[in-house]
Amino acid sequence: MKKGVIRHYDGEKKFGFIRSDDGDDYFFHGGSLSPKMQRLAGFLREGFRVKFDTDFDMKGDKAVNVQPE
């Protein structure tokens, strides 16, 4: 699993971006949050530490299974 911080999260549209510790940015959608993170979604703010897996789709790499670190 990679680790990083929430760089941006739009709670209304339920998507955001994670900056990994290695400097890469990953898009994530609210549906890719772990059940525990879905309960915390209203509290997600810039700088919140997370760990996540990555997946590739037609638009590029994205974060999935996003969990609190």
Backbone dihedral angles phi then psi of residue 32, each to the nearest 5 degrees: -95, 5
Percent of the chain, pLDDT > 90? 46
Right CATH number for 2-50 from 3.30.70.2390, 3.30.420.40, 2.40.50.140, 2.60.40.10?
A: 2.40.50.140
Q: What is the pLDDT of residues 45-55, one digit of tens each?
A: 889 999 999 99
| Cα 6 from Cα 41, distance rounded (Å) | 11
| Cα 40 from Cα 30, distance rounded (Å) | 11
Q: What is the pLDDT of residues 21-44, one digit of tens each?
A: 999 999 998 877 778 777 776 777
Q: Both tokens of residue 58?
A: 């037609």
**Domain residue spans in the chain?**
2-50
